[in-house]
Amino acid sequence: AQKITQTQPGMFVQEKEAVTLDCTYDTSDQSYGLFWYKQPSSGEMIFLIYQGSYDEQNATEGRYSLNFQKARKSANLVISASQLGDSAMYFCAMREVYNNNDMRFGAGTRLTVKP
């Protein structure tokens, strides 16, 4: 069964600094996708970044980058130059391409950006 582990229930970062949110996953499949979502206090789930298991380059989207280490089965999210608006819950998720296409989420990390 798929398993997504986010070991940091809460993280604090100073405004304008970088922060790394950890995510490890467990799968025996070779083809899968990794996702990060942001959930602010308003409740919506916002897609941030995607990494495919066959992608050789780490994904980047603006201030977000995904540190993908396939052998270690980790997919950490790096947020550079943190802003107050980055304070939110962050969820890591994985979808196995050939396993019914469903997606499993980690428990989330609550990030607080301090001014």
Binding site for another protein (CB under 8 A): 33, 35, 37, 43-47, 50, 52, 91, 95, 100-108
Is 28 or 42 the residue whose CB approaches another protein more closely? 42
C-beta closer to another protein: residue 20 or 99: 99
Q: Is the dihedral of CA 5, 9, 12, 16 positive or negative?
A: positive
- Smallest distance from the beta carbon of 18 to another protein, in angstroms? 25
Least Å distance, CB 15 to another protein, is 27
